[in-house]
Chain A
Amino acid sequence: MNAVDFHTGDDLRELYRELILDHARNPRHFGKLDRPTHTAEGINPLCGDKLRLNVRVDDQENIADASFEGSGCAISVASASLLTDMVIGLPVAQALDCFTVVTQRLTSPNVEREQDIGVDLSKIKALDGVREFPSRVKCATLAWHALRSAIHGQTAPVSTE
């Protein structure tokens, strides 16, 4: 990997960071979920990404467990994998805060003035590279939109188109 000559500039390396490639190759929490309480599908028709996000919310309104299924490009799979890592154990309200912060972070350049929601965002910063690739932002936000629609109990698939 280190031997690769990125003549074409650093933003490609920024997009396909080692952490992203790792999560794309070995997605965490991938597969069916035992006793999901909420589930939603996300579709990105442009590239055929199709992910299903499953969550189990417990009596205290915490996300006890989460998983995702489906297929997609490296960016959408890595993003879904990072998402599940991040939201398991969080109160539902805080997970929705994550949605807001992460989607804002990926779509707006003013990340410095990010609100503090009390969640460690360090890993999700690996996705920052997509900001240089507008056509890929939808891949990175797909799982997050699916999370929100799952929690809100929407049944129709969400699309980032």
Chain B
Amino acid sequence: MTQPQTSDLPQVADCRQDFPALHQDVRAHALVYLDSAASAQQPMSVIETVADYQRRDHANVHRGVHTLSHRATDAYEGARDKIQSFINASSRSEIVLTSGTTESINLVAQSFCRPRLEPGDKVLITHLEHHSNIVPWQIVCEQTGAELVVAPINTRGELDMDAFDRLLTDDVRLLAIAQVSNALGTIIPLRDIIPKAKSLGIAVLVDGAQGVPHMQIDVQELDCDFYAFSGHKMFGPTGTGVLFGKESLLDAMPPYQGGGDMILEVSFDGTIYNELPYKFEAGTPNISGVIGLGAAIDYLLSVGMSRIAQHEEQLLAYLTRKLGEVEGIRLIGTAAEKASVQSFLVDDIHPHDLGTILDHQGVAIRTGHHCAMPVMDFFGVAGTARASLALYNNNDDVDRLVEAVVKARQIFA
């Protein structure tokens, strides 16, 4: 029995066939989609799963005794099981379904932190965070009198570990930290950081929005207390998200919102809350979206997370090399450990002008501050152009990007 050769396996880039949105012309050019870090495209299997559900199985969940309600509930709860297994949570009670990473983080800020924080306490974040991992902490610090502390970065866009270690003190109540910087692609060394925080008794929330699509996640191995992510960055529908929380913590937390589904019994004398995870899921959820997220997980598993990571690593190396060869380019975010995101500027062309010229050549990138204004301030720029790669991108996409950037330079020459 011989092991199959790697070359016998279908190439990850062949996945492109599975994504109908990628097969269209934009402004008379074949679309090159390099904005997956903002929102990834969906494979046919996700689109069909959602459509089949809408066509055949739709009803409200956890309510009716009728057949459609059972089907909807089974599919919805089945997706929760897939999510649990995908990130290796120890119990399905630990998987709270939300509208996205933003809601997941706000839930922790208001339900976990707000009752615990007092003046003199600290919440520690980093200079790399997305606004959704900054503003909820600013709000809760304002509400409680706690202090928000920001760990600095260096000019490569890496966390300054010496400074971080000094800021990680025992008056920090929560460390809220990205796994991957959305603006710069920096991979944060969580395996070094989390044990240090845990040894001081500090709770840790990981913003995994940019981590999940690119690498295998094991929340038990990471030993974080909370892990937040979004469906639409991992090839699922928008309006879906997950908060993983350790059961003992979730159990002790008050509900985030009140409403239907999160209760066992309601009277005007008081209300008995539902068990986990339903205590945190008030109201009718995004049923079709969550079912679509389950299909996205099936898809990712069928491709294989390690193969995806390997493909993207090669592609990022190619992107960095080819972009770096363009005259007048300034790469922003050059960390040693990076996920497949590259921010850049060209000459003194404003990123917004660059975005328009690239779009005109069928190349979709993100331009602006990437919801990370402090990162932009650090590098002294108003914004950047950002190309982000996913499993369906290939070297040709990179070549088209470079070609379009060169053309932009000619227009502004």
Q: Do A and B come from one complex?
A: yes
Per the bound structure, the CA–CA distance linking A9 and B412 in Å amounts to: 16
Which residues of A lie under 8 Å from residue B412 when comparing CB positions?
16, 21, 74
Cβ 8 A contact of A139, one of B351, B352, B360 = B352
Chain B: residues with Cβ within 8 Å of the partner, total of 24
The answer to whether B356 touches A136 (Cβ under 8 A) is: yes
Which residues of B lie under 8 Å from residue A73 when comparing CB positions?
350-353
Please tell me if B367 contacts chain A, counting CB pairs below 8 Å: yes
Per the bound structure, the CA–CA distance linking A135 and B357 in Å amounts to: 12
Please tell me if B230 contacts chain A, counting CB pairs below 8 Å: no
The answer to whether B410 touches A4 (Cβ under 8 A) is: yes
Cβ 8 A contact of B360, one of A8, A46, A75 = A8
Q: How far is the CB of B382 from chain A (nearest CB, A)?
A: 4
Beta-carbon nearest neighbor of B410 in chain A: A4
Interface of B is mostly: mixed
The answer to whether B360 touches A72 (Cβ under 8 A) is: no
The answer to whether A12 touches B357 (Cβ under 8 A) is: yes
Q: How far is the CB of B183 from chain A (nearest CB, A)?
A: 13
* A47-B360 in contact given A4-B410, A4-B411, A8-B29 (Cβ < 8 Å): no
* A74-B353 in contact given A12-B411, A47-B367 (Cβ < 8 Å): yes
Please tell me if B330 contacts chain A, counting CB pairs below 8 Å: no
Please tell me if B65 contacts chain A, counting CB pairs below 8 Å: no
Which residues of A lie under 8 Å from residue B413 when comparing CB positions?
1, 4
Beta-carbon nearest neighbor of B361 in chain A: A8
Which residues of B lie under 8 Å from residue A21 when comparing CB positions?
412
Per the bound structure, the CA–CA distance linking A39 and B265 in Å amounts to: 58
Interface residues of A in 9-49 (CB under 8 A from B): 9, 11-12, 15-16, 21, 46-49
Please tell me if A154 contacts chain B, counting CB pairs below 8 Å: no
Which residues of A lie under 8 Å from residue B411 when comparing CB positions?
4, 6, 12, 16
Per the bound structure, the CA–CA distance linking A139 and B383 in Å amounts to: 15
Per the bound structure, the CA–CA distance linking A39 and B105 in Å amounts to: 39
Interchain residue pairs with CB less than 8 A apart (21): A3-B410, A4-B407, A8-B28, A8-B360, A9-B27, A9-B28, A12-B356, A12-B357, A16-B357, A21-B412, A46-B352, A47-B368, A47-B382, A47-B383, A48-B376, A48-B382, A73-B350, A73-B352, A73-B353, A133-B356, A136-B356
List residues of A whose CB falls within 8 A of some B CB.
1, 3-4, 6, 8-9, 11-12, 15-16, 21, 46-50, 71-75, 133, 135-136, 139
Given contacts A4-B411, A8-B28, A8-B407, 9 further A-B contacts (CB under 8 A): A4-B413, A8-B29, A8-B361, A12-B411, A21-B412, A73-B353, A75-B353, A135-B356, A136-B352
